[in-house]
A and B are shown apart, each in its own frame.
Chain A
Amino acid sequence: ETGVTQTPRHLVMGMTNKKSLKCEQHLGHNAMYWYKQSAKKPLELMFVYNFKEQTENNSVPSRFSPECPNSSHLFLHLHTLQPEDSALYLCASSQTGEKLFFGEGSRLTVL
């Protein structure tokens, strides 16, 4: 138990669906992150939020839309995804500049 909870753990969606991934941390951290892990590829940073403000958008397509309503919650809204977007999506949190704490990940399959 890392203190970072992601839901759902598994998601299957069609290309026309709209769904959201949720991440929650109760560690008092001020930074939250979304990462993508595709098969046979390194982890890729997608978005960073510091104190609810987006500070990094790593050239992510607009079909991925993050939302950080408060410092404990982070969402990734998904719409009109492609099959190549199928991957493990990992959320992490930290105090800025300190160790990362990861969630278990949400495994997404786009049909």
Chain B
Amino acid sequence: KNEVEQSPQNLTAQEGEFITINCSYSVGISALHWLQQHPGGGIVSLFMLSSGKKKHGRLIATINIQEKHSSLHITASHPRDSAVYICAATDKLIFGTGTRLQVFP
């Protein structure tokens, strides 16, 4: 069993839908990263958070350290949000398997 689990593995949505991706981890961490990987491989770091909630544009990330759980939300989803979303637990930088999101017009 992976120390960092993501769900769902695959997600399809219609443009405009509200999307939630979940990440659960079993290791002790001081912070968690959310990453976005587009086809072709390039990875962008979306958030690094250690408590509470962070917001950037249409993206919101939350974390509950006690419950060892984090969520990434996308409001008003758009086809350009289609990518693989990966959570990673510091400090050992253990990565989840990723959630492949496809948003259709």
B105 nearest CB across to chain A (Å):
27
- Check if A2 is an interface residue, CB within 8 A of chain B: yes
Give how many A-B residue pairs fall within 8 Å (CB-CB). Answer: 50
Is the CB–CB distance between B44 and A44 below 8 Å?
A: no
Cross-interface CB contact of B88 among A43, A90, A101, cutoff 8 Å = A43
Is the CB–CB distance between A33 and B93 below 8 Å?
A: yes
Chain B residues contacting A88 (CB-CB under 8 Å) are 41
Considering only residues 58-97 of chain B, those with a C-beta below 8 Å from chain A are: 86, 88, 90, 92-97
The bracket for how many chain B residues form the interface is 20 to 34
- Check if B42 is an interface residue, CB within 8 A of chain A: yes
Q: Could you mark each residue 68-111 of chain A with 1 if its beta carbon is under 8 Å from any beta carbon of chain B, else 0?
A: 00000000000000000000101010000111111011010000
Cross-interface CB contact of A100 among B2, B42, B45, cutoff 8 Å = B45
Asked if A99 meets B42 with Cβ closer than 8 Å, knowing A43-B88, A43-B95, A45-B92, the reply is: no
Bound-state CA distance A99–B33 (Å) is 8
- Check if B31 is an interface residue, CB within 8 A of chain A: yes
- Check if B27 is an interface residue, CB within 8 A of chain A: no
Bound-state CA distance A101–B44 (Å) is 7
Chain A residues contacting B33 (CB-CB under 8 Å) are 99-100
B interface, CB within 8 angstroms of A: 2, 4, 30-31, 33, 35, 40-45, 47-48, 86, 88, 90, 92-98
